[in-house]
Amino acid sequence: MFAKTGMNALGGDGLQELTFESSPPEELIPGQQRIDSLDGVYVGEATRNQRQGDGTMYFHDGRRYRGQWAEDAVHGLGTMLYSAAERYIGHWVEGVREGTGEYTQSGGEVYTGQFKSGKINGSGSMIYPDGS
């Protein structure tokens, strides 16, 4: 579940996670589909059994993604939780971090800025756990 929390690093009303279920819901909301795959379980909008629109992916390795999909790939604005302490909130293109985003690393460092081909690239800022 997400809630609007005001302005964020993406320059607008951003989505911050309040709670993020660790497993798929038992009951689906009307309009949602469940798609089981080798990687995990997807719950959300779909077209012709492909992830399309808004949805959540519960990966078998513990990662979770909630956000936009296009042609069965993470594409658009979304949040990936890699672990309890590591996450990325931002833009994706065909499953890769691309454009503006905020990456919180497992050590507590937070980078806000540009990504290209999944890597930090271009302008941005890094804040360390001690505030520097």
pLDDT digits (tens, 9 = 90+) for 19-43: 567 788 888 888 899 999 999 999 9
Contact between 64 and 55 under an 8 Å Cβ cutoff? The reply is no
User: Alpha-carbon distance 70 to 46, whole Å?
Assistant: 9
43-59 tens-digit pLDDT: 999 999 999 999 999 99
User: Alpha-carbon distance 130 to 132, whole Å?
Assistant: 6
| CA gyration radius, the chain | 15
Q: Which amino acid is at 36?
A: D
Alpha-carbon torsion, ordered 48, 54, 59, 63, to 10 deg: 160
More confident residue, 47 or 4: 47
pLDDT band for position 131 (cuts 50, 70, 90): confident
What pTM does this model have?
Answer: 0.82
